[in-house]
Amino acid sequence: MRFLIGTLILFLPFLVNQKPCLDYVPMTTLYGVDVSHYQHYIEWDTVAARRAVDFAFVTATEGHDYADSLFSRNWEELGRLGIRRGAYHFFRAYGCGEDQARNFLSTVKMQPGDLAPVLDIERNDDMPPEVMREEAAIWLKTVESTLGIKPIIYTSQNFFDHFLAGHFDDYPLWVARYSDEKPVLVNGKRWHIWQFANDGCIDGIPRQVDLNTFIGNAAQLEQFCWRPKQISVTMEPVIP
């Protein structure tokens, strides 16, 4: 209840006749952002100094050959500042899962302590759902076998309920639901990270940004981090 009250405080308009811009208010859980070239050049020193971001996810790749133009810069800056970082791949359902996995693996150079790779599945590109899931499974298995850690799946609550429920149940889950109400999935599967807003305002980030929460402590977040030659295990959810 205290978490939901705190979240509601964020929903305050910052300019008249403009979409409300959420301020980033640290609370009792771990908070993070996810960014791409859309946010332009981020002053990560300012972000780190003023807002104490606990973790950040960065767009790395999309499809079989696209790499985000600012991925390398964001990745290196986060590493320099010691902010817990993770990289994600935007999945295209019409593409070969193995080719997309190789695009991600060749772009992202993981370091010990980085968060597990993320597969962003949020559209089926007019492909049959079973084809989308088959190629996504290839991506997941290729990355997992290469790095030795289960990737995290990112999706929206609506997309999960319609296309992913009952599939990939042994993978950690990051769910987008822009609401003061926590995600509740149709099959009762528990999530691990909640993207609760897409219009946050943070000093040092030029444009509005996605806001996320991990309900747990630093030691629990550590379970989702990559170590060389580690044994892959099924993550237990940390939802209270």
Q: Could you give the count of Cα atoms lying within 13 Å of 121 in the half-sphere of its Cβ?
A: 36
Spatial contact of 154 and 123, defined as CB atoms under 8 Å apart = no
Structure tokens of 159? 């997309």
Q: Are 113 and 226 in contact (CB under 8 A)?
A: yes
Q: Which of 43, 98, 122, 199 is catalytic?
A: 122
User: What's the burial of 63, exposed, middle or buried (CB within 10 Å: 0-12/13-18/19+)?
Assistant: middle
Is 122 an active-site residue? yes
Please pick, among 34, 114, 120, 135, the residue that the annotation labels catalytic.
34
Q: What are phi and psi of 158, to 5 degrees?
A: -65, -45
What is the gyration radius of the CA atoms in the chain, in angstroms? 17
SS3 25: coil
* Residue whose C-alpha is closest to residue 220's, from 6, 29, 3, 27: 29
DSSP 29: S
Catalytic residues: 34, 122
